[in-house]
Amino acid sequence: MKFVFQILLFISCISGYSQKLIVDNKIKTIAPKVQFSNDDKNLKINCIDIIKSDTITLSMGKGRFEIYHLDLIMVGDQVVPKMYYWADYPMFDGKSSIELTISDYRLELNKKSYVAGDTIMGSFSITTVPNKYQKKMRIKGDVFHVIGGNYFTWNGSTSTHNKYFHNGKNVFVKSDD
C-alpha cells in the first residue's frame, strides 16, 4: 500500500506543471543561446554533458558569481528539465545552490533520444515559480552540443572545447614535449 501511494505521489508531482516536448528532426541551431528575464547578454555560456549508464545530463549555464543553469536529464526517450541557482557563497539558508521549481516548459529537440557522438539541437522555454530568493523567471534559448562527456564554452557563435574535461572529470594528458 505504501509503495502504491509513493507511485501515485510521484505521478502527481510529474504532472503538476505544464510540459511539452516536441521532436522535430528538421531543427537546426548553430550555437547555444540562453536568455533569462534578468539577463546580462554578454556572459559566456558553458555547456557540459555527463554520461552515466543510461542517463545523459546536459548542463547549460551562464553567470559570474551567481549562476543559473539548466539541466536536461535524458534517460532513453524521456527528457526532464531542471533549473538551479548557484552562488559562490552559501546564500540560500546555508547552501550555495537551490533547485528552482518549474511551473511550465516547452522543449523542441531534433531527436527523441541521444547517444555519445550525437549532436543535440533545439530550443527551450521555461518558467519558474517565485521563491524567497528571486521573482518568477522566464528562460528561453537554443541548445547545440555534441554528446560525449564534453565541456564547451561559447562566446556568441564561437566555441572553445576544454580538452582536459571528460565525462565530469578533469583528465590531464601528459605531453610528448
Q: Give residue 105's pLDDT.
A: 94
Burial of 163 (0-12, 13-18, 19+ CB in 10 A): exposed
pLDDT in tens, 83-123: 998 888 888 999 999 999 999 999 999 998 888 889 999 99
- How much of the chain exceeds pLDDT 90, in percent? 26
Q: Give residue 126's pLDDT.
A: 92
Local confidence band at 13 (pLDDT 50, 70, 90 cut-offs): very low
pTM recorded for the entire structure: 0.75
Q: Give domain limits for the chain.
A: 17-170
Three cell numbers, residue 9: 505521489
Q: Give residue 104's pLDDT.
A: 93
Beta carbons of 31 and 59 less than 8 angstroms apart: no
Higher local confidence (pLDDT), 134 or 100: 100
